[in-house]
């Protein structure tokens, strides 16, 4: 180590905040504890009037000198993850992701309006960005952009919940691949089909419970705290996966799956 990771992080954040284009800085997942090397990374979200030039961002990182072991500026540009720079701090991968305030606000409004009810490229969940904003740890917020956004997202909109639940329940009606895989006892085909189905199930379940679906990580931890869910939801999901992992268990797996989906639909209808 070349120094205390937290001190280096604070110095980096201070340098970013001094760029005149920057309005707000936040870190997802909370600032503490900082992960150990190899156990996680650090995602820093930076919101600007305009994205600082490549030269400015390079100069900022260069100022850190030997406190940063690796660097790669503009490793991606635009899209879901903004303009992205990468640095390594004491073995911890750290991502600096720059976005404009105006585009961010447009995206959030479109998401809340239900324009993006499903995952996009490479399992990016638009509603997961709302989850991130709701829980973001604010490090710098000159004009209260992040603070106001957190308040805006505090209550899950009923309209969004209705759109998402109905969309994903409708998708769950398409059982053709599951039925074909079960009939053929095709383990890999069934695995493919049940993964897609579980994705729709989870997104519907989160919306029913007015929780922004963050990603497929730590799903069981969320489910155990939900009020509205099929009986023994987590256990049944695990049984479905276990039975679906071998040819002679697929048929039983599919029966358990259909029972749980039917239960969830009835639950939603009577809620």
| Per-residue pLDDT of the chain in tens (271 residues, 90 and over written 9) | 457 888 999 999 999 999 999 999 999 875 555 777 777 789 999 999 999 999 999 999 999 998 898 999 999 888 888 999 999 999 999 999 999 999 999 999 999 999 999 999 878 999 999 999 999 999 999 999 999 999 999 999 999 999 999 999 999 999 999 999 999 999 999 999 999 999 999 999 999 999 999 999 899 999 999 999 999 999 999 999 999 999 999 999 999 999 999 999 999 988 7
What pLDDT sits at residue 39?
75
Strands 42-48 and 92-100 come out as: parallel
Residue 104 half-sphere exposure toward CB, CA atoms < 13 A? 25
Residue 227 CB: number of other CB atoms within 10 A? 7
Task: Report yes or no: 178 and 171 within 8 Å, Cβ to Cβ.
Answer: no
Task: Tokens 């053929």: give the residue.
Answer: 184
| Beta-sheet strands, E only, within the chain | 22-27, 42-48, 70-76, 83-89, 92-100, 137-141
Asked whether the bond before 33 is cis by omega within 30 degrees of 0, the reply is: yes
What pLDDT sits at residue 76?
87
Q: How far apart are the first and last CA of the chain?
A: 55
β-sheet with 83-89: strand ranges across? 70-76, 83-89, 92-100, 42-48, 22-27, 137-141
| Residue 36 β-bridge partners | none
Q: Is 125 exposed, middle or buried (0-12, 13-18, 19+ CB in 10 A)?
A: buried
Nearest-10 crossing angle of helices 101-112, 145-152: 0
What's the rounded Cα separation, in Å, for the pair 115 and 68?
Answer: 40
What's the rounded Cα separation, in Å, for the pair 8 and 105?
Answer: 30
């Amino acid at each position: 180590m070349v120094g205390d990771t937290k001190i280096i992080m604070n110095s980096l954040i201070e340098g970013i905040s001094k760029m005149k284009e920057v309005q707000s800085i936040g870190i997802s997942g909370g600032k503490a504890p900082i992960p150990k090397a190899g156990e996680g990374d650090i995602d820093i979200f930076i919101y600007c009037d305009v994205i600082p030039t490549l030269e400015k961002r390079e100069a900022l990182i260069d100022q850190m000198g030997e406190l940063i072991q690796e660097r790669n500026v503009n490793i991606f540009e635009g899209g879901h993850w903004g303009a992205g720079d990468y640095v390594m701090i004491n073995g911890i991968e750290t991502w600096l992701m720059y976005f404009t305030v105006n585009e961010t606000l447009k995206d959030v409004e479109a998401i809340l309006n239900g324009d993006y009810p499903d995952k996009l490229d490479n399992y990016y969940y638009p509603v997961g960005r709302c989850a991130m904003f709701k829980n973001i740890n604010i490090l710098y917020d000159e004009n209260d952009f992040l603070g106001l956004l957190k308040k805006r997202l505090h209550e899950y909109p009923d309209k969004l919940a209705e759109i998402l639940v109905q969309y994903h329940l409708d998708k769950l009606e398409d059982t053709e691949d599951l039925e074909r895989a079960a009939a053929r006892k095709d383990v890999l085909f069934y695995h493919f089909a049940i993964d897609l189905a579980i994705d729709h199930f989870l997104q519907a379940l989160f919306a029913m419970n007015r929780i922004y679906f963050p990603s497929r990580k730590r799903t069981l931890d969320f489910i155990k705290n939900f009020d509205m869910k099929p009986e023994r939801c987590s256990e049944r999901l695990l049984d479905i996966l276990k039975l679906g992992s071998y040819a002679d268990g697929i048929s039983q797996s599919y029966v358990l799956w259909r029972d749980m989906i039917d239960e969830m639909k009835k639950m939603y209808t009577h809620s």
